[in-house]
């Protein structure tokens, strides 16, 4: 007997471990696919979504799908087998009572589900959106901490956060009530069934000495059924309330476009980039760019200028392959860049207006994604001079191993821009795209950097976006988007 229970315990533990491990692996797999999908898709698909909702889709929804939906389906299936087995025993004991209990129980489940599952999908969506709103408020408050403190608006944001928290508490309390309700109703239903069974047996002429053993078995069986049926109803509610989770994961996965890696296309840049009849608009806007045409020759410095709102940054995002044109083409040596956007982007180095800074060391931010042992120190020292980082950090004094802070909190705006330039140059791109990169720099440093960048023309093609006429005068050619 002891050996039997020992083996049984070991088997149950192993099954629980394997089940948990597989669910966690699936959770990680879905989360990874969502993460990969977002970072690889065109930014035009990401722009309409607030980052709090994207974070929720990557982290929270995969967990909800595996722990609430898949685990719920598994639980319902296993408990349903047990419930059907008990009903089969009841029918064998007494056909009339067994069938009566079976029919009445299924009728109870149907009625309860019909009324209780109403609007649960909408309820679940509201709760999920509320979680995302809370994340959004917290993130915005942290990002705007300086302004909030200077304007003395702490109470204002506290009130908003408390309000979002209160809504989540109310929604969760209502959901938990719905989750435990089946058990209490089932207890009342079980007592009713036992009483009805006794009456049926008495009216059927069964002796009292026969009734009590039969009722005892029925009562024991029904009491065993309460947790199982309660789980079936409770997990049915959870699955129904997470329909929005399932729909979101499915719809987002459909949006993610696979990279068509034609290994023979766009491996190099030899002659020119040609912009032909390029037009672009977002789904909810008028044309930002319309019938744009220009050519960028290799090993030149080409400028793109225009008034605010003319579409300068949009034009760069199109050339970079982050956006698909509404119409027109972007050709590199006669090949459409979208024939192999992966290979095309390997040729590019983009320095945006807002440079991404990781809460890591200075050297890790420059050599982003490169292991320390793999860093080319000679190349690093060269780009440090070109980007003028050596004016505020000394590689020989350990400055490059210091943490720069979250979003570069320990750096000035100008220093962040120089890190962006250094990061791009470390990639050794064939084409560099600069989007108003010197806007945060003083004029002396700006001139020094551009003079150093111009010296790279023999090896790199440079595309510059700026409204500064002096920078445009340094270019070999330029295109005015305002015209």
Domain of 454: which CATH number?
Answer: 3.40.50.300
**Run of H or E residues at 429:** none
Beta-bridge partner residues of 336: 331
Please check whether residue 263 lies inside any domain of the structure.
Answer: no
Q: What is the mean pLDDT of residues 262-278?
A: 77
Q: What is the structure's pLDDT at 52?
A: 66
Average pLDDT, the chain: 78
DSSP state of 397: G
Query: Alpha helix locations (H) across 41-119?
Result: 43-46, 51-55, 61-64, 71-93, 95-116
In which band, very low, low, confident or very high, does the pLDDT at 260 lie, cut at 50, 70 and 90? very low
Largest CA distance in the chain: 109
List the single range of 65-79, 186-200, 421-435 with lowest mean pLDDT.
186-200
List the single range of 19-28, 71-80, 213-222, 301-310 with lowest mean pLDDT.
213-222
Query: Within this chain, do residues 195 and 220 fall inside the same structural domain, yes or no?
Result: yes
Please check whether residue 188 lies inside any domain of the structure.
Answer: yes
Please check whether residue 125 lies inside any domain of the structure.
Answer: yes
Query: Within this chain, do residues 396 and 436 fall inside the same structural domain, yes or no?
Result: yes
Please check whether residue 397 lies inside any domain of the structure.
Answer: yes
96 has a pLDDT exceeding 60 = yes
Please check whether residue 96 lies inside any domain of the structure.
Answer: yes
Q: Indicate the number of domains in the chain.
A: 2
Please check whether residue 285 lies inside any domain of the structure.
Answer: yes
How much is the pTM? 0.53
Q: Which range marks the domain in which residue 237 is found?
A: 2-255
Query: Within this chain, do residues 223 and 293 fall inside the same structural domain, yes or no?
Result: no
261 has a pLDDT exceeding 50 = no
199 has a pLDDT exceeding 80 = no
Higher pLDDT: 456 or 162? It is 162
Q: What is the mean pLDDT of residues 115-142?
A: 77
Query: Within this chain, do residues 61 and 20 fall inside the same structural domain, yes or no?
Result: yes
290 has a pLDDT exceeding 70 = yes
List the single range of 50-54, 85-89, 150-154 with lowest mean pLDDT.
50-54
Query: Within this chain, do residues 224 and 301 fall inside the same structural domain, yes or no?
Result: no
Query: Within this chain, do residues 216 and 345 fall inside the same structural domain, yes or no?
Result: no
In which band, very low, low, confident or very high, does the pLDDT at 320 lie, cut at 50, 70 and 90? confident
Backbone angles phi, psi at 441, to 5 degrees: -105, 155
Q: What percent of the chain has pLDDT over 90?
A: 1
Write down which residue in 229, 255, 281 finishes a domain. 255
Nearest alpha-carbon partner for 324 in 38, 33, 41, 49: 41
Q: What is the mean pLDDT of residues 121-147?
A: 78
Q: What is the structure's pLDDT at 274?
A: 92
| One-letter-per-residue 3-state SS of 127-145 | HHHHHHHHHHHHHHHHHCH
Q: What is the structure's pLDDT at 4?
A: 66
CA atoms within 13 A on the CB side of 295: 6
Query: Within this chain, do residues 240 and 276 fall inside the same structural domain, yes or no?
Result: no
List the single range of 122-136, 246-260, 463-477 with lowest mean pLDDT.
246-260
Query: Within this chain, do residues 329 and 248 fall inside the same structural domain, yes or no?
Result: no
Q: What is the mean pLDDT of residues 469-483?
A: 83
User: Whole-angstrom Cα distance, residue 385 to residue 233?
Assistant: 67
Please check whether residue 337 lies inside any domain of the structure.
Answer: yes
Q: What is the mean pLDDT of residues 355-373?
A: 81
- Measuring CA to CA, how many Å separate 278 from each of 25, 105, 307, 342? 44, 66, 18, 21
Q: What is the structure's pLDDT at 126?
A: 80
Please check whether residue 467 lies inside any domain of the structure.
Answer: yes
CATH code for the domain in which residue 218 is found: 1.20.1560.10
Lateral strand order in the sheet of 348-351:
348-351, 431-435, 461-465, 301-305, 477-480
Write down which residue in 255, 288, 310 finishes a domain. 255
Query: Within this chain, do residues 51 and 132 fall inside the same structural domain, yes or no?
Result: yes
Write down which residue in 224, 255, 286 finishes a domain. 255
User: Whole-angstrom Cα distance, residue 77 to residue 236?
Assistant: 11
User: Whole-angstrom Cα distance, residue 85 to residue 82?
Assistant: 5
Query: Within this chain, do residues 298 and 217 fall inside the same structural domain, yes or no?
Result: no
16-53: per-residue pLDDT in tens?
888 888 888 888 888 888 887 777 665 544 444 556 67
370-401: per-residue pLDDT in tens?
888 888 888 888 888 877 787 777 776 776 77
Q: What is the mean pLDDT of residues 255-273?
A: 64
User: Whole-angstrom Cα distance, residue 468 to residue 305?
Assistant: 8
Query: Within this chain, do residues 195 and 235 fall inside the same structural domain, yes or no?
Result: yes
The three-point CA angle 31-34-35 to 5° equals 85
Query: Within this chain, do residues 299 and 329 fall inside the same structural domain, yes or no?
Result: yes
């Amino acid at each position: 007997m002891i050996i039997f229970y020992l083996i049984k315990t070991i088997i149950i533990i192993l099954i629980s471990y394997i089940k948990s491990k597989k669910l966690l692996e699936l959770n990680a797999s879905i989360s990874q696919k969502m993460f990969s999908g977002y970072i690889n898709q065109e930014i035009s698909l990401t722009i309409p979504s607030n980052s709090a909702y994207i974070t929720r889709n990557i982290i929270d929804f995969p967990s909800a799908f595996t722990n609430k939906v898949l685990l719920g389906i598994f639980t319902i299936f296993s408990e349903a087998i047990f419930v059907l087995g008990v009903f089969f025993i009841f029918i064998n004991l007494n056909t009339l009572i067994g069938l009566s209990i079976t029919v009445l129980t299924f009728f109870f489940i149907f009625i309860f589900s019909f009324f209780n599952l109403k609007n649960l999908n909408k309820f679940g969506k509201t709760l999920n959106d509320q979680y995302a709103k809370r994340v959004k408020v917290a993130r915005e408050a942290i990002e705007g901490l300086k302004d909030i403190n200077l304007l003395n608006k702490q109470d204002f944001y506290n009130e908003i956060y408390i309000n979002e928290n209160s809504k989540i508490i109310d929604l969760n309390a209502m959901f938990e009530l719905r989750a435990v309700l089946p058990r209490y109703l089932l207890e009342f239903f079980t007592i009713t069934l036992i009483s009805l069974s006794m009456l049926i047996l008495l009216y059927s002429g069964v002796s009292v000495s026969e009734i009590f053993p039969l009722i005892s078995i029925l009562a024991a069986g029904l009491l065993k059924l309460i947790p199982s049926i309660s789980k079936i109803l409770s997990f049915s509610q959870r699955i129904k309330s997470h329909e929005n989770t399932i729909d979101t994961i499915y719809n987002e996965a459909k949006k993610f476009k696979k990279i068509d890696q034609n290994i023979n296309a766009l491996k190099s840049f030899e002659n020119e980039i040609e912009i032909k009849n390029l037009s672009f608009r977002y789904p909810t806007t008028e044309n930002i760019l319309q019938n744009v045409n220009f050519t960028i020759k290799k090993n030149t410095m080409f400028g793109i200028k225009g008034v605010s709102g003319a579409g300068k940054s949009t034009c760069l995002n199109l050339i970079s392959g982050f956006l698909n044109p509404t119409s027109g083409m972007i050709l590199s040596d006669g090949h459409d860049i979208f024939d192999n956007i992966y290979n095309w982007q390997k040729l590019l180095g983009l320095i945006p207006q807002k440079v991404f800074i990781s809460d890591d060391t200075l050297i890790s931010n420059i050599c982003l994604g490169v292991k320390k042992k793999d860093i080319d120190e000679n190349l690093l020292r060269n780009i440090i001079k070109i980007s003028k980082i050596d004016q505020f950090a000394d590689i020989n004094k350990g400055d490059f191993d210091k943490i720069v802070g979250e979003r570069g909190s320990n750096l000035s705006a100008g220093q962040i821009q120089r890190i962006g330039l250094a990061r791009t140059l470390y990639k050794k791109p064939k084409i560099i795209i600069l989007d108003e990169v010197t806007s945060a720099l003083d004029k002396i440093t700006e001139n020094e950097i551009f003079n150093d960048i111009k010296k790279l023309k023999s090896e790199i093609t440079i595309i510059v976006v700026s409204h500064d006429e002096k920078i445009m005068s340094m270019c070999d050619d330029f295109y005015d988007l305002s015209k």
